[in-house]
Amino acid sequence: MIAEALARNPDGEAVVCGDERLTYRSLVERGEAVARALAARGIASGDRVAVLVGNRIEFVVILVACGRIGAIMVPMGIRLQTPEIAHILGDCGAKLLFHEAELASRLPPLDGVTAVAVGDGHSFADFVAGGAGHPDVRAAAIAEEDTAFILYTSGTTGRPKGAMIAHLNVVHSAMVYEHCMRLTAADRSIAPVPLSHVTGLIANIAAMIRVAGTLVIMPAFKASEFLALVARERITMTVAVPAMYNLCLLEPDFDAHDLSSLRIGGYGGAPMPPPTIEKLAAKLPGLMLVNAYGATETTSPTTVMPPRFTASHGDSVGVPAPGCDVMVVDDAGREVAPGETGEIWIRSGSVVKGYWANPAATTESFTGGYWHSGDIGSIDAEGFVRVFDRKKDMINRGGYKVFTAEVETVLAGVDGVIECAVIARPCPVLGERVHAIVVTREEGGPTAADLKARCLSALSDYKVPETVTVQTEPLPRNANGKVIKRQLREGLEALSR
DSSP assignment letter at 222: -
- Bridge partners, residue 36, by sequence: none
- Residues 295-333 pLDDT 10s: 999 998 999 999 999 889 988 999 999 999 999 999 999
How confident is the model at residue 493, as a pLDDT? 84
The domain locations on the chain are 2-142, 174-390, 395-496
pTM value is 0.89
How confident is the model at residue 145, as a pLDDT? 97
User: ∠ CA(134), CA(135), CA(140), 5° rounding?
Assistant: 110
Cα 323 off chain centre by? 21
- Residues 307-316 pLDDT 10s: 999 889 988 9
How confident is the model at residue 479, as a pLDDT? 61
What would the CATH number be for the domain defined by 174-390?
Answer: 3.40.50.12780
State how far the Cα of 332 lies from the Cα of 266, in Å rounded to an integer.
35
How confident is the model at residue 494, as a pLDDT? 80
Which of these, 196, 190, 191, 148, lies nearest to 171 by C-alpha position?
A: 148
* Surface-to-core class of residue 240, CB atoms within 10 Å of its CB (0-12 exposed, 13-18 middle, 19+ buried): buried
How confident is the model at residue 16, as a pLDDT? 98
How confident is the model at residue 449, as a pLDDT? 96
State how far the Cα of 474 lies from the Cα of 488, in Å rounded to an integer.
12
What would the CATH number be for the domain defined by 2-142?
Answer: 3.40.50.980
How confident is the model at residue 214, as a pLDDT? 98
CB-side neighbour CA atoms (13 Å) of 448: 10
Which of these, 157, 170, 80, lies nearest to 352 by C-alpha position?
A: 170
Which of these, 68, 73, 50, lies nearest to 134 by C-alpha position?
A: 68
All residue ranges of the chain with pLDDT < 70 are 154-158, 479-480, 497
How confident is the model at residue 156, as a pLDDT? 46
State how far the Cα of 347 lies from the Cα of 385, in Å rounded to an integer.
14
Domain 395-496 has CATH 3.30.300.30: yes
Domains 2-142 and 174-390 share a fold: yes
